Amino acid sequence: MVKINVLIILLIALGSIHSCRFLSSGYDNEYGQFVPKHPHYWLKDKKNHKTPKNLDTINIYKQHYTFDQNGMELSYPVEFYVNPEVLINLYYLKFYSNGRCASFGTTLKGVDYRDLYPKNSNFTKGYYYSKGDMDICIERFTYGESLGDYIRWKYVVSSEGDTIKRISKNKVRSIYVRELLPKDWKKYPVDW
């Protein structure tokens, strides 16, 4: 009887491990980016999208400030490991005029033109929507432990277009400041 119980427990455990792989919401592509198995972005090609006039779609926005839920400024640059070899310290947003956007991280070295290449492992592709005013909604797929979900954040662009604030529960959570890119940097195709 004990052997049968142990065998049943082992079969259940093996079945659970296998079902986790089967139920995985995506996979890592050849560039190390997580891709959802069955993408269903809500903001992709949403009708009536208008890129805000004050949103810079040529340059990038660098995260300068981060705040906790109480409005207290967190130490910046935010430091955590994406993988054991790469310490990510600086975060950026890049917008394109067609409703596509991206976020990526770099080390303290700052931005290199290769960081803007959409097929590198630190580059997360997403979509944004605006009615043409200062409010923007950004959607991307986030993941962890082979599971993931679509998340949307609200951002507000300043009237000058030089800063973007991420808003959550009517509080500012992050502030991004525009950084100009060198004119000779190669533009990469937006293929998503």
The string of pLDDT tens digits covering residues 109-159 is 677 787 888 777 778 889 999 998 899 999 988 765 556 678 899 999 999
Full residue range of the structural domain in which residue 174 is found? 28-179
CATH at residue 126: 2.40.128
Q: Tell whether 184 is covered by a domain.
A: no
Ordered DSSP codes for the chain:
-HHHHHHHHHHHHHHHHHHHHHT-SEEE-TTS-EEESS---SSTT-TT-B--TTS-SSSEEEEEEEB-TTSPBPPSS--EEEETTEEE-EEEEEE-TTSEEEEEEE-TT---GGGG-TTSTTEEEEEEE-BSSSEEEEEEEEEETTEEEEEEEEEEE-TTSSEEEEEETTEEEEEEEEEPPPTTSPPPP---
Report which of residues 30 and 169 the model is more confident about: 169
Judged against a pLDDT cut of 60, whether residue 80 lies above it is answered with: no
Q: Tell whether 35 is covered by a domain.
A: yes
Q: Tell whether 95 is covered by a domain.
A: yes
Q: Tell whether 83 is covered by a domain.
A: yes
How many structural domains are present in the chain?
1
Q: Tell whether 1 is covered by a domain.
A: no
Judged against a pLDDT cut of 90, whether residue 61 lies above it is answered with: yes
How high is the pLDDT of residue 4?
65
* Confidence category of residue 13, pLDDT binned at 50, 70, 90: low
Average pLDDT over the chain, rounded to an integer: 78
Q: Tell whether 2 is covered by a domain.
A: no
Q: Tell whether 131 is covered by a domain.
A: yes
| 145-175 residue pLDDT tens | 556 678 899 999 999 999 999 998 888 899 9
